[in-house]
Amino acid sequence: MSNLTLVRRRNALALFQEFAGSAITEGVAPKGLEQSFAARAQISPSMWSQIKSSRPIGDKLARQLEHHGGKPAGWLDEDHGEPAPPDTAEERFVTLARAAWQASNARQKRELSRLLKQAAGSELE
């Protein structure tokens, strides 16, 4: 398997993680995110499943994923490196935030999202 194939797959997965994180922050339930991502990328859920496991991403499909993922042409071909691992304080916060989210009703989840967006500033708007 070529390096480009691995880089494209890793970056496609990063696009999905970005999409899923944004959707969950907006209060969308995690169930069905794979299908929603495939629809946004204008590919079938089956093709997305194949891409995640073994299907190579050709040039045309790479540009399509970039376009629908809001990335510049060629982004999928670049090695963006591994993200830095979270520190223990960040891990504790994420665990606490997840517990708060899971214990909340819909109104409380919207308020949690609003507070986190406010704390993050325009970065997530």
Tens-digit pLDDT profile for residues 9-20: 999 999 998 898
Residue written as token pair 């993200």: 83
Q: Which one, of 26, 47, 51, 23, lies nearest residue 36 by Cα?
A: 23
User: CA 88 → CA 15, 23, 93, 106, 114, distances in Å?
Assistant: 25, 25, 9, 29, 25
Residue 57 phi, psi (nearest 5): -100, 110
Counted residue by residue, the chain has a size of 125
Task: Return the ∠ at Cα 94 (arms to 92 and 95), rounded to 5°.
Answer: 65
Q: The pTM is what?
A: 0.65
19-57 pLDDT, tens per residue?
A: 988 888 888 888 889 999 999 999 999 999 999 888 999
